[in-house]
Structures are given as C-alpha cells and as structure tokens.
Amino acid sequence: MATFVKAQVASLSASIIDFLTTLVCTQVFHLWYVFGSVAGTTAGGIVNFMMGRNWVFDSKQRNVTLQIFKYILVWAGNLALTTGGVYLVTHYLHVNYILSKILVSLTVGTSYNFLMQKKFVFV
C-alpha cells in the first residue's frame, strides 16, 4: 500500500509539472494545445521517472539503462494515449483542452501508468 501511495504522490508531482508546462505553452506562448500537451507529458515523464526510480520503487541498484529503455516504452504509450485522448475529447466532444487533459490524464494514470511501472519498468 505504501508503494501505491508513493506512486500517487509522484504521479501528482509529475502531473503538476505536466499541467504547468501545458498551460505555459498554450496560454503564455500561444502554442497549439496538442504541442502543449506533448511538452507537458514529456516534462512530467522525466519527473515521474526520477521519483519512481529513486523514491517510489527504490530501484537505484538496478540497471538504469534498461530501466530508462523500459520507461521510454511505457512513456511512449502514455504519450500516445494522453495526446490522442486529449485531441479526441477536445476536438470531437468539444470539451475545453484543460478539462480534457485532466480527464484523460487521470484515466491513463490509474489504468496504465502505475501497473506498467510496477510490473514492467521497476521490477
């Protein structure tokens, strides 16, 4: 249970970075919301990997190169799911991109990220 709680704290931290990056890209620099979502997901992924490796799963003694490779595979799936989901929900359901990002990120985070990190990346 402690690992799950730590993973949620790491996910929340990464999400804050993700959302701030997305908002800065779109609201400050007036970039397309899909680009902002990609930039945010990238920044959040870096934060999440570092917290997952060093704090959540305490896997410092394992092969970091292999973990990075596995994380990139999982992260690419996360990026595709999140970006595609944000586009679909925003474009076809006419939901504001910020709300779309929140809904899609919560869905992907709880149904995909934790399990893939626990069972595949940081084993």
pLDDT in tens, 92-112: 999 998 899 889 988 998 889
Sign, CA torsion 9/13/19/23: positive
- Which H or E run includes 43? helix 33-51
The SS3 assignment for 31 reads: coil
**CA distance linking residue 28 with residue 17, whole number of Å:** 15
Task: Extract the tokens encoding 78.
Answer: 């996360």
Q: Domain ranges for the chain, please list them.
A: 2-121
Give the residues of the chain that fall short of pLDDT 50: none
Closest CA to 117 of 65, 67, 66, 42: 67
Whether this prediction's pTM lies above 0.85 is answered by no
